[in-house]
Amino acid sequence: MSYSLVFTRLEIPTDDVEALRWVESKFQGHYDDERAPHSIFQRLHDSLVERFPCLSSLPAHERDDAAWVDGPLIKNFSHDLAIVAFHFTCMEDVMPFAVKTALEVGCSVSDMQGMSVYRPQHDKPN
């Protein structure tokens, strides 16, 4: 079983329900986007795989213990959106780190399963 998070570098609606709908509406564009990942996503990716190695970088005998569901993980990053999935059994480790790291680089995080949205500090009203 897996759990997914969606990262976006674009400004999202301030209402969480609207934001989740907006993010979902961007999925097809994400899959069709052939541009390289934005530099913000490259930094996010690099931080994620430094902490939790990419499935494709692991030897075959270690892949069953990997956090990520698929690889290379960078293939889940487009120019404006990234959708990553990790094993549910790794949630306690991966989720807080992924959310914290994404917010630090300036990405919003949408947890479509938990119906939660996390925004970078600069996105929040004073």
Place of tokens 């925004």: 119
Task: Work out how many domains the chain is built from and give that number.
Answer: 1
Containing structural domain, residue 29: 2-123
Q: Say whether 56 sits in a helix, a strand or coil.
A: helix
The pLDDT of residue 123 is: 45
User: pLDDT 10s per residue in the chain (126 long)?
Assistant: 999 999 999 999 999 999 999 999 999 999 999 999 999 999 999 999 999 999 999 999 999 999 999 999 999 999 999 999 999 999 999 999 999 999 999 999 999 999 999 999 854 443
The pLDDT of residue 122 is: 56
The pLDDT of residue 112 is: 94
Provide the 10 A C-beta neighbour count for residue 6. 23
